[in-house]
Chain A
Amino acid sequence: MRPGVRTDVKKTWEAIVINEKDNVATSLKALQAGDTISVEAGGAVQEVKVLSDIPMGHKFAIREIDEGEAVIKYGEPIGAGKTKILVGEHVHVHNVVSEPREDRS
């Protein structure tokens, strides 16, 4: 056994939350609309029902994100909600915009 590998955890996760501040998870496999999957963030486990098909490597919301609210991944804003995004909804170019920047035109 490699040192540090937790053998008590039998669970295989289907999505990953990179930083505990994140409001999105990234799927580790293709998910179907209606799937209920559990995600872990900062030690807390949460169940999320995905509302649409999520391809592998794509994101879905694990908390409701308001229009204009920051989408957080890696603990940092990667953009803002173009519309209100519900828990379990696919989060991608159709509902996220880059943050407007003061230092750029």
Chain B
Amino acid sequence: MMFQGFRRPDGKAGTRSYVLVIPSVGCSQAVARAIARGRKNAVFIPNIFGCGQVGEDRDLVKKTLVGFGANPNVFAVLVVGNGCEQLSPEELGEGIAATVKRVEVIAIQTCGGTKKTVSLGRRIVKEMCEGAARLVREPTPVSELILGTECGGSDYTSGLASNPAVGVACDMLTEHGGTVILSETPELIGAEHIIARRAKAPEIGQKVIEAVAWWERKAAEAGQNIREANPSPGNIAGGITTLEEKSLGCIYKAGSGPLEEFLTYAVQPSKKGLVYMDTPAHDIEQLTGMVAGGSQIVLFTTGRGTPVGSPIAPVIKITGNKDTFRMMRDDMDMDVSRILEGKESVKDAGELIFRELISVASGKPTKAEKNGHRDFCMFKINMNI
């Protein structure tokens, strides 16, 4: 099965073709934004870090920014630095250049200030956009898709309608040889042993268990016991019996396949099929991590509704709540509430989602893209120094 994609020099394929402008540090953010402003297909990501960070945080920022630049939805990249930051623009540029796509690096201190940098940057980006415009879509196997899955603003409809239906679509994609990313570790609590049992090898499952323990420890340090607080009295009144059930309602969106690989935040999968990425449950940090890990398209389920989109990857919003679909028609792409009315099977709804996935991968714009929503937020662990 095929979609219409953009072929990149490293052999990978994108569902979109953007020119990405990355500030390597918070100090060059305004200049980078001015460079991308008003140019169709040029996208800026608001990096406020890149300096005052050490150890694992520096590493996370680098992985995330390099991952965005390397994502096959990006045609070419301009990195804009200030000049004295810890995470140098050259280091980012080199990381992205491993994909063989065009990468240019400029710095405000060596260009001679804001005006000269903006002017040079705009010239480079204009040329890159002209190059991007010449590239045409070509038939591409769906096995090349890395699909991110996410849920946010969940309600009782999520575990019964949208997540099971998306699970069917995910199983269809993995059957066609594609890759599905399941993430948001705090949402796994209570069902980690179940997902671990689905791992291809015991060490993959063990990493899932350890990741959950890490998040529980972090939450406990902040005075929160996630496990004991769930399921909440409201959950129980609504019919949820155990924490396993609540967590499975979320996990089920990624389908039922065996778990092939465990990834840390923003790391690219090396396996096909279902893979796990350790991310926060924070919607935008999670989304950013999966897209930095090479995801070219995302299925996002919601009960209450959410406008969220990614700067470079189409995000398809699916709800099982009819009222939410009506109230937030501008933001919701698909309504699967017929499942809850007993009028449509989960399987039929899942097949429709799979078809929409292929259409969007081939260029059909999502509501979040029409709205111009380009949310970006990186996961970090410690304070800046």
Nearest B residue (CB) for A19:
B256
Secondary structure call for the A interface:
loop
From B239, B252, B342, give the contact of A55 (CB < 8 A): B239
Which residue of B160, B245, B340 has the most chain A CB atoms within 10 A of its CB atom?
B245
Q: Which residues of B contact A14 (CB under 8 A)?
A: 342
From A2, A26, A73, give the contact of B248 (CB < 8 A): A73
CB distance from B210 to the nearest CB of A (A): 10
Nearest A residue (CB) for B338:
A5
**Is A46 among interface residues, defined by CB-CB distance under 8 A?**
no
CB distance from B334 to the nearest CB of A (A): 10
Determine if A92 and B245 form an interchain contact, defined as CB atoms under 8 angstroms apart.
Answer: no
CB distance from A46 to the nearest CB of B (A): 15
Determine if B243 and A98 form an interchain contact, defined as CB atoms under 8 angstroms apart.
Answer: yes
**Is A93 among interface residues, defined by CB-CB distance under 8 A?**
yes
Q: Which residues of B contact A9 (CB under 8 A)?
A: 345
Q: How many residues of chain A have a CB within 8 Å of chain B?
A: 39
Q: How many residues of chain B have a CB within 8 Å of chain A?
A: 33
Contacts A57-B156, A75-B256 given: A99-B346 contact, CB under 8 Å?
no
Q: Which residues of B contact A6 (CB under 8 A)?
A: 344-345, 348
**Is A16 among interface residues, defined by CB-CB distance under 8 A?**
yes
**Is B209 among interface residues, defined by CB-CB distance under 8 A?**
yes
Which residue of A57, A93, A101 has the most chain B CB atoms within 10 A of its CB atom?
A57
From A11, A12, A16, A98, give the contact of B242 (CB < 8 A): A98
Q: In residues 312-366 of chain B, which contact A (Cβ within 8 Å)?
A: 339-346, 348, 351-352, 355
Give complex CA distance A74, B252 in Å. Answer: 7
From A2, A13, A91, give the contact of B352 (CB < 8 A): A2
Contacts A4-B355, A57-B160, A58-B239 given: A99-B244 contact, CB under 8 Å?
yes
Give the number of residue pairs across the A-B interface with Cβ within 8 Å.
90
Determine if B342 and A103 form an interchain contact, defined as CB atoms under 8 angstroms apart.
Answer: no
Contact bitstring B215-258, A, C-beta under 8 A = 1, else 0: 00000000000000000000010110111110011011000100
Determine if B193 and A18 form an interchain contact, defined as CB atoms under 8 angstroms apart.
Answer: no
Determine if A79 and B245 form an interchain contact, defined as CB atoms under 8 angstroms apart.
Answer: yes
Give complex CA distance A95, B343 in Å. Answer: 30
Give complex CA distance A67, B156 in Å. Answer: 28
Which residue of B241, B244, B245 has the most chain A CB atoms within 10 A of its CB atom?
B241
Determine if B342 and A13 form an interchain contact, defined as CB atoms under 8 angstroms apart.
Answer: yes
Give complex CA distance A24, B295 in Å. Answer: 35
- For the complex of A and B, 8 pairs with smallest distance between CB atoms: A13-B342, A57-B239, A58-B239, A78-B245, A74-B248, A12-B342, A79-B242, A78-B244
Which A residues fall within an 8 A CB radius of B? Answer: 2-6, 9, 11-16, 18-19, 26, 28, 40, 55-59, 71, 73-79, 91-93, 96-99, 101, 103
Query: Can you give 25 A-B contacts (C-beta < 8 A)?
Result: A5-B348, A6-B345, A9-B345, A13-B343, A14-B342, A16-B160, A16-B340, A16-B342, A26-B160, A40-B345, A56-B239, A57-B239, A74-B164, A76-B244, A76-B248, A77-B244, A78-B242, A79-B245, A92-B236, A92-B239, A93-B236, A96-B241, A98-B242, A103-B193, A103-B209
A28-B342, A75-B256, A91-B241 are known contacts; what are 20 more A-B pairs with Cβ within 8 Å?
Answer: A3-B355, A4-B348, A6-B348, A12-B343, A16-B339, A16-B340, A18-B160, A19-B256, A28-B340, A40-B345, A56-B239, A74-B164, A74-B248, A76-B248, A77-B244, A78-B244, A78-B245, A93-B241, A96-B241, A98-B242
